[in-house]
Amino acid sequence: MLKYLFKRLALTIPTFVALMFVTFVAIRLVPGDPVEVRVGEHGISPERLAYFRHELGLDQPVWKQFLDYAWKILHGDFGTSLRTSQKVLTEFFTLFPATIELSLCAMLLAIALGIPAGVTAAVKRGSWYDQILMSTSVVGYSMPIFWWGLLLQMLFAEGWHLTPTSGRIDPINYYFEPVTGFMTIDALLSDQPGAFLDALRHLILPAVVLGTFPLAVIARMTRSSMLEVLSEDYVRTARAKGLSPLRVVGLHALRNALIPVVTVIGLSVGSLLAGAVLTETIFSWPGVGHWLIESISQRDYPALQGGVMIVSTFVILVNFGVDLLYGVINPRIAHGR
Amino acid sequence: MKFLHRAGPARAGLLGIAVAALVGASTTGSAKTLVYCSEGSPENFTPALNTTNTTFDAARPVFDKLTEFARGTTKVGPGLAESWEVGDDGRTLTFHLRKGVKFHSTKDFKPTRDFNADDVLFSFNRQWKPDNPYFKVSGGRFDYFNDMDMPKILDSIEKKDDYTIVMKLKEPNIPILANLAMDFASIHSAEYADFMLKKGTPEQFDQVPVGTGPFSFVAYQKDSVIRFKANKDYWGEKPLIDDLVFAITPDATARYTKLKTGECHFMIAPRPADLPEMQKDPALKVINQPGLNIAFWAFNTEKPPLGKKEVRQALSMAVDKSAILKDVYLGAGEAAKTLIPSTMWSYNDSIQDYPYDPEKAKAMLKAAGVATPFDIDLWYMPVQRPYNPNGKRIGEMMQADLAKVGVNAKLVTFEWGEYRKRMQDGEHITGETGWTGDNGDPDNFFYLLGCAAARKGGINLSKWCNKDFDALLNKAKTLSDQNARAKLYEEMQVIEHDEAPNFLIAHSIVYEAMRKEVVGFKQSPLGAHEFQGVDLQ
């Protein structure tokens, strides 16, 4: 097991280097210069342009810039944002908890509703419930986030006043400095009456919007995986032994059906973070998504490179964790390694 | 960790949550709080380092300048300088500073003295003198200080005594008084700068601002919220609200929804498509005025046949301006007939705009000896700017109009930085461009047509150099009497109209939307959002 762990970890190193290279090159292929992009109609004199390009090391050959960058990364230095002159890591980890909080809630929602829905649909295969669930999941699967977000905002916030429109907490009534960066936890820690519920109210719509796609995927995957497992001999044997249907489905079938579902959940983390970019924009959610988009438009090379690398590393690690989880769900897989 | 309410036992918190859940809502204070839905996060809180209105708006509550624009106007009046004199040579400005002005305090910093001349020296030297310890801090890009040519204008800034500053100029330049009212000239605390330097965190100086302004900075959470509280010791017009909150909401639709639901009282930049509905909503108030900007189509007078003024006049008559205003600006634009908008002093309203007359245009081209059809390049803007909502669409409409008079316009564009640079180098034949005013002084617009800016790499994009126009431009800079200056600028507009170095398209109209309970807001021609003097009813 330990050998496997090291092997997998070693495999992430070339992925990480490739990622660093691709991000570094891709942003430089986009037309526009980080110094000039900020200049308005006034323009900038060639002397000042040259001075700032030199200060930022942009006058060096690209290969040298890359080596410098890689060396700094090896020393844990992700550089300084060109826009704000703040450390990239500081900026990123100020915003990342908001993205994690949103993504985590969306994923929990998707799992909590998706798995039971998929199991029920498989057990009641062909029933009206199955039909409705499958057609609804297609809708959820193909729903554009932007449209869905605006629709829910119009209905629940603007129309029925059931939830706030956007943001993470009501700024008039609640104010506390962030401790963990997770608004729900910070609200609890603040001891301000009503703050936690207000934070939850702010979280509902974005989490539903972001969770819709993985919910549909998980429900469909659970259903098809369960259908396959339910026709296995060992399930028939379990039934023949007289076990209760709940025990057969819940213990014998579901546990075996979960492997592909867990894979899908792991793979969804990437798309979840991509979806978070849009969701954060619609709901003014101060996460890394909006920050990354701004970094692209402002050609903030260090912020973009650093941000993409940390997010990608996070996705790699989650998938790594998912791989390890296989062994927990099905010990035969762990032994087989 | 700081709370509005000190943390009590966790159980009390849980009980509180339960109670709040039962009553359904909870409030923690009765202070008058105005929530402004802004569009983005500031880069930092030092205006001199930045060029965007987003950052200026976020820092403006905290700072004062030596001179100030009277709220809602471009009229320059006293600020931290109570009064000033211009020497007989026109090159010496003596500023008498206000006494008893207090700087704000922060968690870590408590000022030990009032504002004085050292703070003025520090604020300018930081941007000007490479030996200032803050010259390179936070990137050290003082774009506006350089864009406004301050290093070329200033000869020296000296402290005569604690409350007198003497500014010597290299040549007479009255518009500098307007420059000093701009955000880049905000006055910072030299004592706070020293404090941060000694602490080893000079970059924090730009993150936690300390000024003398009507509001003091409380907290900032990136992409989320900025908080200010009223400065009860303010020397000027006291704020009428207790707290000012910037709720950062990048999406215009979300801002509008928040305005409707009362989650914010004021929003920046409403979408033109939302305006009709907004204007009908009895809970909202929408105001507007032409922005201090201009979109125009520059004719490169160095490229034949555009050197002939008759050709430029003909092209000015070949394009249907009203159609552009209707279809691209969606009504949110004022037809431009001179470089400056009608809200600016010295606007010459007697000028008659060129009519849309394709037949006359054709005849004029023929009379000028230009054989049609002829080919030109028409560069269109690759980005949206405050004065130009859709460069490509405008380009296409102009192209279609020009075809009717026998001019084949080829649409061309580049990445924005490249586009600007090439136009400044005069590579275009014709090209869309524009300008957003910085300080409300007509010189800030007309210098775009000066001979000095017509050089290669200069920002006179029609490369038009008219000696009469230029002489008036330079003379106007030396006069301290505004009426006398206005006369010269009016005269210059007549020359500009006759010579037609540009086809003037529009001044975009800037809309501000707020809830009915917001009173006392004055729309700034400079696009500033100031909440001093604003109240909630």
Do A40 and A94 lie in one domain? The reply is no
What pLDDT, on the 0 to 100 scale, is given for residue B123? 98
Residues on chain A touching B17 (C-beta within 8 angstroms): 188, 193-194, 196-197
Of A33, A98, A157, the CB nearest to B257: A157
- Report B:31-70 residues touching A (Cβ under 8 A): 33, 35, 40, 43-44, 49, 51
pLDDT for the residue A69? 92
Q: What is the CATH number of the domain that holds A190?
A: 1.10.3720.10
Taking an 8 Å cut-off on Cβ atoms, the answer to whether A40 and B51 are in contact is yes
**B5 min Cα distance to partner chain A (Å):** 7
Q: Distance between CA atoms of B359 and B368, rounded to whole angstroms? A: 14
Distance from CA of B310 to the nearest CA of A (A): 28
What's the distance, CA A288 to chain centroid?
10
Using only C-alpha atoms, what is the Rg of chain B? 26
Cβ pair B19:A193 closer than 8 A: yes
Residue type, A293: I
> Which of A28, A165, A170 would you mutate first to test chain B, the one with the most B CBs within 10 A?
A165
Q: Check residue B466 and give left, alpha or beta (phi > 0: left; psi -120 to 50: alpha).
A: beta
B405 to chain A nearest CA, in Å? Answer: 31
To the nearest whole angstrom, how far is the Cα of A261 from the nearest Cα of chain B? 35
Asked which of A161-175, A271-285, B11-25, B491-505 is least confident by mean pLDDT, the reply is B11-25
Interface with chain B: mutation pick from A30, A172, A180, highest number of B CBs within 10 Å: A172
A53 lies in the same domain as A116: no
Residue at A337 is within a domain: no
State whether A239 and A321 are in the same domain: yes
Interchain pair A95, B250: CB under 8 A? no
Quick check: bond before B151 cis, omega within 30?
A: no
Report yes or no: B12 at the A interface, CB cutoff 8 Å: yes
- Are B1 and A179 a contacting pair at CB < 8 A? yes
Query: Considering only A134-143, B102-111, B167-176, B180-189, which range has the smallest mean pLDDT?
Result: A134-143
Q: What is the pLDDT of residue B218?
A: 96
> Three-state DSSP class for B91?
coil
Higher pLDDT, A133 or B184: B184
Q: Do both A191 and A283 map to the same domain?
A: yes
Nearest CA in chain A to B459: A42
CA B437 – CA B148 distance, rounded (Å): 11
**B233 interfacial to chain A (CB closer than 8 Å):** no
Strand partners, B78: B67
Structural domain range at position A188:
89-329
pLDDT tens sequence across B251-266: 888 899 999 999 999 9
Q: Chain A: give the shortest CA distance to residue B420, in Å.
A: 7
Residue numbers in B near A164 (CB within 8 A): 261, 263
Q: Is the CB of B247 less than 8 angstroms away from the CB of A167?
A: yes
Confirm whether A10 is domain-assigned. no
C-alpha separations of B20 from A188, A190, B55, B184, B304 in Å: 13, 14, 37, 46, 75
Residues on chain A touching B415 (C-beta within 8 angstroms): 31-32
Cross-chain Cβ contact A44/B5 below 8 Å: no
Same domain, A309 and A239: yes
Say how many Å lie between the first and final Cα of chain B, rounded.
Answer: 34
Q: Does B25 touch chain A (CB under 8 A)?
A: yes
Residues of A in contact with B417 (CB under 8 A): 31-33, 36-37, 39
Identify whether residues A146 and A288 lie together within a single domain.
Answer: yes
| Contact call for B7 and A32, based on CB within 8 A | no
Q: By the 8 A CB rule, do A190 and A180 touch? A: no
CB-based contacts of B369, cutoff 8 Å, min separation 6: none
Chain B residues near residue A151 by CB distance under 8 angstroms? none
Q: Are residues A53 and A150 in the same domain?
A: no
Determine whether the interchain pair B5/A52 forms a contact, defined as Cβ–Cβ distance below 8 Å.
no
Tokens 């909590």 correspond to: A112
Residues of chain A with C-beta less than 8 angstroms from the C-beta of B266: none
The distance of Cα B413 from the centroid of its chain, to the nearest Å, equals 26
Query: What DSSP string describes B50-80?
Result: ---HHHHHHHTTT---SEEEPTTS--EEESS
CB contact under 8 A, A42 and B147: yes
Q: Which of A29, A46, A74 is the last residue of a domain?
A: A74
Answer for the pair B184, B127: CB distance below 8 angstroms, yes or no.
Answer: yes
B17 shares contact with chain A (CB less than 8 Å): yes
Question: To the nearest whole number, what is the mean pLDDT of chain B?
Answer: 91
Note whether A144 and A42 are same-domain residues: no
Q: Is residue A251 part of a domain?
A: yes
- Does residue A246 belong to any structural domain of this protein? yes
Low-confidence ranges of chain A (pLDDT < 50): 335-337
pLDDT at B11: 39
Rounded to the nearest angstrom, the minimum Cα separation between B398 and chain A is 22
Selecting from B137, B223, B424 the residue whose C-beta is nearest the C-beta of A290 gives B223
Could you give the percent of chain A with pLDDT greater than 90?
Answer: 44
Q: How far is CA B528 from its chain centroid?
A: 7
Residues A303-329 have pLDDT tens digits of 999 999 999 888 888 888 888 877 777
Contacts of residue B420 in chain A, CB cutoff 8 Å?
A: 39, 41, 43
End-to-end CA distance of chain A, in Å? 7
pLDDT at B4: 36
CB B459 within 8 A of CB B422: no
| Domain tally, chain A | 2
Is residue A5 situated within a structural domain?
no
CB atoms within 10 A of CB B204: 18
pLDDT (mean) for B298-313: 96
Q: What is the rounded average pLDDT of the residues B4-32?
A: 43
Measuring CA to CA, which residue among A167, A173, A195, A171 is closest to residue B7?
Answer: A195
B289 or B331, which is more confident: B289
pLDDT value at residue B9 = 39
Q: Name which of B291, B304, B377 is nearest B341 in CA terms.
A: B291
User: Is the same domain home to A33 and A149?
Assistant: no
Cα–Cα dist A312/B488, whole Å: 61
Note the pTM of the prediction, 2 decimals. Answer: 0.86
Query: B262 — contact with chain A (CB < 8 Å)?
Result: no
In this prediction, residue A333 carries a pLDDT of 66
- pLDDT of B165: 97
pLDDT at B30: 66
Report how far residue B190's alpha carbon sits from residue B487's, in angstroms, rounded to the nearest whole number.
41
- What residue in B sits closest to A160 (Cα-Cα)? B261
Is A11 domain-assigned?
no
Q: What is the pLDDT of residue B340?
A: 94
Q: State whether A211 and A322 are in the same domain.
A: yes
Residue of B111, B102, B106, B112 whose CA lies nearest to B64: B102
Q: Could you read off the pLDDT of B335-388 as tens digits, one per residue?
A: 999 999 988 899 999 999 999 999 999 999 999 999 989 999 999 998 888 899
Among A46, A74, A102, where does a domain finish?
A: A74
Quick check: B347 and B338 in contact, CB under 8 A?
A: yes
Query: Please, which residues 186-205 of chain B have a Cβ atom closer than 8 Å to chain A?
Result: 203
Q: Do residue A263 and residue A149 come from a single domain?
A: yes
A84: chain B residues, CB-CB within 8 Å:
43-44
Task: Determine the residue of chain A that is closest to B53 in CA distance.
Answer: A40
User: Given this model, what pLDDT does residue A38 score?
Assistant: 74
Do the beta carbons of residue A197 and residue B23 sit within 8 Å? no
Within a domain: A81: no
Q: Is A94 a member of any domain?
A: yes
Q: Which of A74, A99, A122 is the last residue of a domain?
A: A74
B171/B460 Cα distance (integer angstroms): 22
Judging contacts by C-beta atoms under 8 Å, the chain A residues touching residue B207 are 86
Q: In this structure, are A69 and A94 located in the same domain?
A: no
Contacts of A189 in chain B (CB under 8 A): 7
Nearest CA in chain B to A196: B17
Residue B251 has a pLDDT of 87
In this predicted structure, what is the pLDDT of residue B7? 36
